[in-house]
Each structure stands twice: as structure tokens, then as C-alpha cells.
């Protein structure tokens, strides 16, 4: 499916979407982090939320009929530290962890996977001890191997080594890819889309809210597909072949849209 631009001329929100916002009893705004509200950086630790975006998210949180959530592949501890905003909902670790106010949820497979991942981390660190630019991120229930700054090794060889290390655990672990990253996750049918449905249960959103979901990577495509019937889905980037309904070009345009959304809500 080919996505449409979320803006009309001069960065205006389409009247149809504006009308939906004005008439909605409840709006669920869900935002991926890296590449969506923060530009992709050379290393994950450099991807910091701008002051303007943080203030905007805080302003959106004050809207009475709007629930805001961050949906990220980062660990819960990491994404909460990066965003640093109380009272916002978090879906972390590609959907395996959820926190919203007093509610905390972790997938039941956590206890089974964590001991295996500890062994994998040791093997990966040994295998890539001399590989310049490889960052191995232990997120408990998942592992990320970042190779954006890889030097002295072909990406094909790096991926082959990872697959060989994971083979003994392939019945319970799977390997997938993202933007300059290899993801090691539990081999179960769970993803960001299903986690969003779980979040809605935790929040008690029984009536169908108007949902906005913004994401930029392969893992967000699961959410785009899951929420297709009830959601305004937005791919952030230059890929027009996506399961999302709409696209925006970069995090700057996401911020422009959110500012316009905030202004509409202030007048409701």
C-alpha cells in the first residue's frame, strides 16, 4: 500500500482528520522514539529528546481527552530516562514491557528468556571483542546489536556470526533486522501492535478511541497492520511502501504535526 502525505498544502492537517480529532471522546497518541520524535544518531546514547519536543509532549499530556504513549524497542529503564516525563505511558522492548501510571506489565516469557540472553550476551561480546563500531545492548528480554559505525568487517559476516551464535537457541529465539541493527527476540507471536492492545486494556479504554501511531522502522509495521482499521498510522521516513495510511518525512515534520494537533485540542 502506498501511503499518503499526512499534510495538505503548507503543512495543514487534512480537514477530515481535524474533524475526527474535534469529535473524538478519547484520543490515543502513540509515538515511536528513535527516528520518529528523535533523529537517528550514530550511537543510541546520543539520541536525546529536544527541549522543544519534551515541552510539546508535556503540553499534550495536559489535554483531558488525550492519552500519550511512547512505543520503543529500547529497554524500559532506557526509554524512561530518555523521555523523562511522568504520567506518560511506555511500551518498551518491542512490546514485551508496559508501564502506565501504577500499571506495570511484562510478558510471561521474561523468566525463561533472560537466562538464555545472558549466555548470548557473553558469546556475542567474545565474538565481537575486536569489531570496531559494534554495540551490543542487553535489554533483558531482548538484545540489540548496533552496527551503524561498523569498521573492518562486512555486514554480511557480522550477521552470519550472530546467526551461528543463536542457532542452539533457535527454538525459542529469533533474529530480525532494523535500521543498522540486529534484534534478538523471543520466538513468539508478540509485537508492538499486540502490546498496544494490551495497553488499551490496562488503561480501560473499552470504547474505541481515535488512535494515532507514528513509527519509522520494520517493527512498527506490525503495529500499522494490527491497528489498520481503527488507527491513523504514519510512517516517518522516505519509504512509501508501508502498511501505514500516511507518511511524514522526518521527526521535524512529526513535531509540526503534533503542534497543530495540540492547537486543535486547545480549542475543543
**Which pLDDT score, from 0 to 100, does residue 121 have?**
95
User: How do 97-100 and 27-32 pair as beta strands?
Assistant: unpaired
CB 37, CB 53: distance < 8 Å: yes
Q: In this structure, are 177 and 201 located in the same domain?
A: no
pLDDT per position as a tens digit, 13-69: 999 999 999 999 999 999 999 999 999 998 999 999 999 999 999 999 999 999 999
Residue ending a domain, among 144, 164, 186, is 186
Of the candidate ranges 6-10, 105-109, 202-206, the one whose mean pLDDT is the lowest: 202-206
Indicate the range of 5-9, 77-81, 82-86, 225-229 predicted with least confidence. Answer: 225-229
Give the tens place of pLDDT for each residue, 209-229. 999 999 998 889 989 998 877
**CATH number for the domain that contains residue 146:** 3.30.70.1020
pLDDT digits (tens, 9 = 90+) for 172-200: 999 998 889 999 999 999 999 999 999 99
With cell 497543530, the residue in question is 260
Give the per-residue pLDDT at 10. Answer: 86
Element (H, E) at 92: strand 89-92
Residue showing cell 551464535? 165
> Domain check: are 207 and 162 in the same one?
no
Given this model, what pLDDT does residue 102 score? 85
Q: For the chain, give the mean pLDDT.
A: 92
What is the number of structural domains in the chain? 2
DSSP 123-149: HHHHHTTT-BT-EEEE-SS-EEEE-TT
Closest by CA to 27, choosing from 233, 209, 237, is: 209
Please provide the DSSP assignment of 181-242 as one string. Answer: EEEEEESSS--HHHHHHHHHHHHT--S--EEEEEE-SHHHHHHHHHTTTTEEEEEESS--BS
Other beta carbons less than 10 A from residue 56's beta carbon: 17
**Both 136 and 97 in a single domain?**
no
Are 153 and 223 within one domain? Answer: no
**What's the predicted TM-score (pTM) here?**
0.91
pLDDT at position 3 over 90 = no
State the residue range of the domain holding 32: 4-106+190-267
Higher-confidence residue of 126 and 152: namely 126
Do residue 102 and residue 217 come from a single domain?
yes
- Residue 172 and residue 54 share a domain: no
Residue 134 main-chain phi, psi, to 5 deg = -90, 130
Q: What is the CATH number of the domain that holds 96?
A: 3.40.50.1000
121 and 101 co-located in one domain: no
Instruction: Look at residue 169 in the predicted model and tell me its pLDDT.
Output: 94
Q: Is the pLDDT of residue 167 over 90?
A: yes
- CA-closest candidate to residue 173, choices 184, 164, 163: 184
Tell me what pLDDT residue 74 has: 94
Percent of all residues in the chain with a pLDDT value above 70, rounded to a whole number: 99
- Residue 1: its pLDDT value, please? 63
- The residue with greater pLDDT, 207 or 232, is 232
pLDDT of residue 8: 87
Residue 117 has, within 13 A of its CA and on its CB side, a CA count of 24
Of 223, 244, 247, 243, the residue nearest 71 (C-alpha)? 223
Task: Characterise 84 by phi-psi region: left (phi > 0), alpha (psi -120 to 50), beta (else).
Answer: left
What pLDDT digit, counting tens, does each position of 94-141 carry? 999 999 988 899 999 988 999 999 999 999 999 999 889 999 999 989
Cβ neighbors of 248 (< 8 A, separation 6 or more) are 5, 6, 7, 214, 234, 235, 236, 254, 257
Amino acid at each position: 500500500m502506498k501511503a499518503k502525505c499526512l499534510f495538505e498544502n503548507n503543512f495543514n492537517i487534512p480537514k477530515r482528520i481535524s474533524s475526527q480529532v474535534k469529535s473524538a471522546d478519547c484520543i490515543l497518541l502513540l509515538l515511536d522514539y528513535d527516528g520518529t520524535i528523535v533523529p537517528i544518531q550514530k550511537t543510541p546514547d546520543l539520541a536525546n529528546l529536544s527541549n522543544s519536543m519534551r515541552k510539546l509532549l508535556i503540553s499534550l499530556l495536559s489535554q483531558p481527552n488525550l492519552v500519550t504513549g511512547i512505543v520503543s524497542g529500547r529497554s524500559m529503564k532506557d526509554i524512561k530516562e530518555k523521555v523523562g516525563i511522568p504520567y506518560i505511558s511506555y511500551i518498551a522492548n518491542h512490546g514485551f514491557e508496559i508501564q502506565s501510571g501504577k500499571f506495570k506489565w511484562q510478558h510471561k516469557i521474561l523468566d525463561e528468556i533472560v537466562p538464555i540472553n545472558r549466555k548470548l550476551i557473553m558469546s556475542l561480546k567474545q565474538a565481537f571483542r575486536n569489531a570496531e563500531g559494534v554495540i551490543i545492548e542487553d535489554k533483558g528480554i531482548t538484545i540489540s546489536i548496533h552496527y551503524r559505525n561498523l569498521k573492518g568487517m562486512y555486514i554480511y559476516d557480522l550477521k552470519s556470526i550472530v546467526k551461528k551464535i543463536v542457532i542452539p537457541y533457535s527454538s525459542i529465539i529469533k533474529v530480525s533486522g532494523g535500521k543498522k541493527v540486529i534484534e534478538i527476540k523471543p520466538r513468539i507471536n508478540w509485537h508492538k501492535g499486540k502490546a498496544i492492545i494490551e495497553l488499551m486494556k490496562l488503561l480501560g479504554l473499552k470504547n474505541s478511541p481515535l488512535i494515532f501511531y507514528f513509527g519509522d522502522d520494520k517493527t512498527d509495521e506490525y503495529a500499522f497492520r494490527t491497528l489498520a482499521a481503527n488507527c491513523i498510522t504514519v510512517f516517518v521516513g522516505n519509504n512509501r511502501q508501508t502498511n501505514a495510511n500516511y507518511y511524514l518525512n522526518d521527526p521535524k515534520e512529526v513535531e509540526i504535526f503534533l503542534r497543530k494537533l495540540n492547537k486543535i485540542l486547545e480549542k475543543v
